[in-house]
Every structure is written in C-alpha cells, then in structure tokens.
C-alpha cells in the first residue's frame, strides 16, 4: 500500500477521496452491509424496530466491560429459551 501511495499524485488521492464520498468502500462500508443483513435476519426472527446501526461496531467508544462466564451462560440460556431450545 505504501508503494502505491508513493506513486500516486496528490490529484489521484483527491480523486479517490471524492469517489469514496459518492460510493463508499472499505471496512466501514462492509460493516454497514453486514449490519443490514443482521437487521434483516433479526426482523425475520421477530425483532421489533431494529435498524442497521443497532448492529454496527462501536469503533469510537470504549469497549464494554467483559462479561463473566456466568453472565454469558445466562444470556445463551435466555436466547435458547426464547427460540424454543432446551432450558
């Protein structure tokens, strides 16, 4: 990537930046596409009023405190119970 940037003119870089504002690409765009799919699946599973931003990574915020193993098991059991799995 550095070699490519070394060969690009300032005008080339500006054109790519302008293009990215019209038709975004890269990881942020990929995250948004994945969030649309996740929201669609959640809606099909019965979720009410979800939006893609509900499934976007929080890149600008501090990560949440890690969950305890017990809390993770409680969450898994709640999902299983909600969707007809074993309790």
**pLDDT tens track for 13-47:** 888 888 878 877 777 788 889 999 999 999 898 88
Q: CA angle at residue 55 from 39 to 31, to 5 degrees? A: 100
41-68 average pLDDT score? 80
Q: How far apart are the first and last CA of the chain?
A: 51
50-59 average pLDDT score? 81
CA distance 62 to 39: 23
68-77 average pLDDT score? 84
1: pLDDT strictly greater than 70: no
Per-residue confidence (pLDDT) for residue 85, from 0 to 100: 59
User: Which residue did the predictor score with more confidence, 22 or 58?
Assistant: 22
CA distance 65 to 3: 40
Question: What is the separation of C-alpha 1 from the centre of its chain, rounded to a whole number of angstroms?
Answer: 24
């Amino acid at each position: 990537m550095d070699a490519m940037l070394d060969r690009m003119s300032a005008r080339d870089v500006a054109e790519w930046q302008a293009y990215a504002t019209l038709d975004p690409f890269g990881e942020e765009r990929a995250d948004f596409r994945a969030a649309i799919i996740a929201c669609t699946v959640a809606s099909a599973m019965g979720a009410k009023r979800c939006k893609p931003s509900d499934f976007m990574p929080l890149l600008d915020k501090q990560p949440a405190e890690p969950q305890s193993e017990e809390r993770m098991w409680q969450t898994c059991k709640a999902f299983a119970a909600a969707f007809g799995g074993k309790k």
